[in-house]
Chain A
């Protein structure tokens, strides 16, 4: 390990431009003749569009054009799609209702786009949007997931009777039922996973540029996966063939999943650019983001967990209803199924598991993946259930978990996943030690003397990252493969460009990816550039989500580096008249092992490009591409402990300490990993204590600004105590697992377990606001 190589705490190369305001985001892009878009959106959660009158708007100052959904449809632009097919347990395919980029007949949530105004300035576009007159026939709406399933609920799509999208199951229902019937103890609990708004710092934006001379489109967009955006816009929305569509996702200020999907605005701005013959830029404002960015979570579940007389889990039975909103977003169907129910075994050996999942339409913005995506829902459900069971059984939470840990690997769960490696007890022990768990009783008494209720809670999480083996996900319904690509391009003077299909929107790839190359070749980190986010520069790639860029994206770079090194060694062996197998690469030199004969890296690169003296038959150049398809998911796991004090007078929760012991396998840059964990913890603590999307019974969004939607702030958070256990992942060359989502996955149950421990009642839902905690205390007494 060098100071810049794998394992070093290298500060982020990209931070200088971010911290000095030199980042280049989509909204920073300006091109000659560019105009501004504003979207006319539905104020109703559910309504028929009777008439759209744009005549007044078209004559407003600065207006270039006002376009609606009928024109879009007439031009053959397709509907938005969900790219993961799920079949119900009766074999029928999921019921996907039509999602038109601009609504034509019916609007189904507040914020549904209806028309686009293009004008000289954003203010003029907005003025004109207000002059668009739309006659609606308002229909009854439903926002609540349980209400949407009741008989007589408003019918949202004709394709989905009763608003049911699919009724899916996994596992063995009979085995689970038999084990529950025979159990010594059954813990039953209802679980609510609160709906969240992603709120990246940078709102969504897009700039559509149509070049009539070349019949070519360029789309700047806030995307986590520009190649997937291009593929989907070409193949499904008929915007343009791929060779006529360039997608650029420049600096992107956070995504958390919400920027994976293709939204109506990208498609409409590209189309509008052709219709109006001017480049068209749209930037979301914050309330628009609350209204139209895909939300996360929103599950309700009933759980039964069965135990034998020795406190071993014998079965888990889960019945979940998940809200997918008004339309099926790009990966929405996979989140409450294969990203959720396949993790319901947690860290425990559970012989029988059955989960039934029903997804429903409601008159709310679409719901899709948000940091963790399904895995936080599984972890929260399982770890709240384990805590409840420990209390019912009179066991310590650690003892019950230890008793049920999986200890031998590989381990095949009853719900598809095959865990390749893990050491759950190591994280549990590390966390308990860091938290001084054994000293808690003393601290509780001391707090009681001050009039405070102190509680402690833990959560042992597992997640599946590094998504995913393409054939496996294909067999489960995915419309794409989930491999990754890399090209390592060595320049003639030895500097290096790495073109990666991963996309960095806060993860620090420009640093970690460069560290990998610096480690392998022993060249300075400054000589390495990471290029990403532009379909014209970078070969096809799948983008960044699901903590996959390390495990999958970097593995592709390893494969490309293997090829580059092999060719460089051949050249060096030829030049030094040695055997290729004797050449080693060290400290930026190619060396004949066991001798002092060396060639500097740059000389080998130069030789590859001058091509004056290459081995016979070798092509000039030093540039290699690789595609890496993982053979398995990776399985990060860990143990989190929260210790809280509740003020009995107000219900206010103060987090006294938060311990995170994570096993991410091998770590490239501890500094960046810690940052990822800190951010994930902030979001998980936000979900547990503060955040919650609320629609009223008419489908109006009540939490449409930061005045009502409570985001975690620095002073809501404690100083985190982190540690890492390092059980390498056996299925990828670097032995890394992924760290981007763990904090958000593992922390909510630890918090709620701690608060319910403090207040002595288990009936508490997230977000555990001061009022809810106070009410829970009063209801219990």
Chain B
């Protein structure tokens, strides 16, 4: 790791000010990706602005069917929230299978989506739920937020503060782990929302998380795993690596979609 300066931000305003004062600085949330990248000397931020101690960024609040999760809420809190589970168990289940217990107690939802790892779970969950990502300066739809591999619509210095979504009628998530990293080699989140059926795929796309319109149309008219039987998955835009080539991932996209439907009930 290269030398860096650590700052503990006390409020969102404080964090934004610190960040703007340090051109080469970076926000630090759970640090699950950033710290290991720094240890490998693949990242060298001059300053780290720690967001984990800002009370306003942490916690889950629910009003009616409207859910708000603070950006610095760790995965373990999402997994364990009874109120959230009563409304949207799929997102709790998703959170409960991210990484390992250490990761779930350190990693945060805001950190995960701001990093937008193409194999992370939350991008599929939020895209599938049609969530809104709230930042220190605006609100974005998940469709607009997730742009590509490790790429989001966040501007320089912009910071995720919360995500919000309306609890869906039904939702489910199924993932197939990479055998080494246990990131999603393919993960599919399905949701039946007020605005229609949404299917989001992570771990598989060569441009990161994506929606699958073919699945969405099939499920809109028939919410069942059988509805996907004759829908093809195009492998041409899927990732190929040591552990899974595009053809195998295309298979996993369909199998995981069917399992996600089964999980959603």
Contact = CB atoms under 8 A, between A and B. Distances in A.
A775 interface: yes
B181 A650 contact: no
Contacts of B181: 706-708
- Measured as residues with beta carbon below 8 angstroms from the partner, the interface class of chain B is 10 to 19
A769 B1 CA distance: 34
A771 B177 CA distance: 12
A6 to B, nearest CB: 41
B1 A771 contact: no
B176 interface: yes
Contacts of B179: 690, 710, 769-770
A703 B40 contact: no
Nearest to A707: B181
A707 B251 CA distance: 23
A769 B243 contact: yes
Nearest to A767: B179
Q: Pick the most buried of A651, A707, A771, A775: most chain B CB atoms within 10 A of its CB.
A: A771
A771 B3 contact: no
Interface string B221-264: 00000000000000000000011110010011001000000000
A708 B242 contact: yes
Most chain B CB inside 10 Å of its own CB: which residue of A287, A649, A694, A702: A649
Contacts of A650: 176, 251-252, 255
Contacts of A123: 1-3
Interface in B138-186: 176, 179-181
A327 interface: no
Interface of A, secondary structure class, is: loop
Contacts of A649: 251, 255
B248 A771 contact: yes
What DSSP secondary structure best describes chain B's contact surface?
loop
A707 B248 contact: no
A640 interface: no
A720 B40 CA distance: 38
A771 B243 contact: yes
Nearest to A772: B248
A696 to B, nearest CB: 10
Interface residues of A, number: 23
A702 B242 contact: yes
A123 B38 CA distance: 13
Contact of B180 (A126, A709, A775): A709
B180 A708 contact: yes
B172 to A, nearest CB: 16
Interface string A747-781: 00000000000000000000001110011000000
Interface string A686-713: 0000100010000000110011111100
Contacts of A703: 180, 242
Contacts of B244: 771
A599 B1 CA distance: 65
Contacts of B176: 650, 652, 770
Nearest to B244: A771
A127 B179 CA distance: 34
A362 to B, nearest CB: 19
Contacts of B2: 123, 127
Given A123-B1, A710-B180, A770-B179, A775 B242 contact: no
B250 to A, nearest CB: 11
Counting chain A CB atoms within 10 Å of each CB, the highest count among B1, B41, B179 belongs to: B179
28 contacts: A287-B40, A649-B251, A649-B255, A650-B176, A650-B251, A650-B252, A650-B255, A651-B248, A690-B179, A702-B242, A703-B180, A703-B242, A706-B180, A706-B181, A708-B180, A708-B181, A708-B242, A708-B243, A709-B180, A710-B179, A769-B179, A770-B176, A771-B243, A771-B244, A771-B245, A774-B248, A774-B251, A775-B248
Given A707-B181, A770-B176, 19 more contacts: A123-B1, A123-B2, A123-B3, A126-B41, A649-B255, A650-B251, A652-B176, A690-B179, A703-B180, A706-B180, A707-B180, A708-B180, A708-B181, A708-B243, A709-B180, A769-B179, A769-B243, A770-B179, A771-B245
